Structure 1
Amino acid sequence: MTAQLAALPFRHVLTVPAEPSAVRLARETAELALAEWGINPHHPSVDPALLILSELVTNSVRHAADRSPQVTVIYAAGADCLALAVHDRHPHRPTLPGPATGDGAGGLATVMELTLGLGGTAVIRADADGGGKSIWITLPL
């Protein structure tokens, strides 16, 4: 997956304070980046991608702000792939629910349902020092 992400020609990185306003800013930045990259705002992956992004940033703000004063969002895209990552410095790595767990895991369950429903992927990558993590989502375009 790393090689695939490295090949994506469009990239943008946003670092914001881990505050509720980060959710809106991350979403607005995504909309601007996608428009700049020529991605049709009506593509079937765009609205779910924005919802996924909102959920992931919300989770970082709610659950990691005490240890991670900032949240970093990475946006990347190519001709047939959109990738989003949300990074914080809290060491806890949540478990991503499976496609049919039905465990009511809230936001992450929604993230996984949308991601898998579109044929995308999700992975959590720990920082090299174990002190943080990134949740990466890839969706087809």
Structure 2
Amino acid sequence: MGARLEALPYRHVLTLPTEPSAVRTARQTAEQAMAEWGISLRHPTVGPALLILSELVTNSVRHAAALSPQMTVIYAAGADCLAFAVHDRHPHQPSLNTSVADTGTGAGGLGTVMELTLGLSGTAVVRADADGKGKSIWITLPL
């Protein structure tokens, strides 16, 4: 998974309203992009990747909509790597050092995102916007 994100040959960017329907649209767009890029939707990484993406978009809808009426989803891939990011203009940068057990709920949220990502030997990074008024959460997974 040594590929730098900038070097990934496939890329798609989607801007969506920060509302519940964005979750379905982001997921369907991911499925379509991966199919176009030759990534089998039956690949063992795809199901967990779609769940991670859905959780991140849901978090933006739930927590950022008041300050960020839109979000941007970035999809990227290469021969051995799948990456995506969800960007919104809410300044809060969540901690990614959490697990499902830490949330006290037993399911959902960033705990699930991190357990799935790390379970697939992937990486997760929060990147602040230059002005500090927004962030992107990037997930990179090996294929």
TM bucket, shorter chain = over 0.9
Alignment pair present for 1:104 and 2:106: no
Do the aligned residues in 1 keep the contact of 2:100 with 2:112 (CA within 8 Å)? no
Match for residue 116 of structure 2?
A: 114
* Alignment map for 1:30-45 (pairs within 5 Å): 30-45=30-45
Give the secondary-structure state (helix, strand or coil) at the position aligned to 2:139.
strand
Question: Cα RMSD (Å) of the superposition?
Answer: 1.5
Give the secondary-structure state (helix, strand or coil) at the position aligned to 2:76.
strand
Deviations 1:14-57, CA, capped at 9 Å, x for gaps: 00000100000000000000000000111111000000000000
Match for residue 135 of structure 2?
A: 133
1:101, CA displacement in angstroms? Answer: 7.3
Aligned-partner residue type, residue 92 of structure 2? H
- Of residues 110-119 and 3-12 in structure 1, the stretch that sits farther from structure 2 once superposed is 3-12
Match for residue 52 of structure 2?
A: 52
Give the secondary-structure state (helix, strand or coil) at the position aligned to 1:103.
helix
1:76, CA displacement in angstroms? Answer: 0.0
Could you tell me the TM-score, scaled by structure 2's length? 0.93
For structure 1, the residue ranges without an aligned partner over 5 or more in a row are: none
Aligned-partner residue type, residue 116 of structure 1? L
Match for residue 123 of structure 1?
A: 125
Query: Could you tell me how far apart the structure 1 residues matched to 2:18 and 2:103 are?
Result: 25
Percent identical residues? 78
Could you tell me the TM-score, scaled by structure 1's length? 0.94
Deviations 1:43-85, CA, capped at 9 Å, x for gaps: 1110000000000000000000000000100000000000010
Query: Could you tell me how far apart the structure 2 residues matched to 1:69 and 1:13 are?
Result: 17
For structure 2, the residue ranges without an aligned partner over 5 or more in a row are: none
* Alignment map for 1:4-43 (pairs within 5 Å): 4-43=4-43
Give the secondary-structure state (helix, strand or coil) at the position aligned to 1:54.
helix
Query: Could you tell me how far apart the structure 1 residues matched to 2:15 and 2:52 are?
Result: 17
1:104, CA displacement in angstroms? Answer: 2.1
Structure 1's consecutive aligned runs of 4 or more residues displaced over 2 angstroms after TM superposition are none
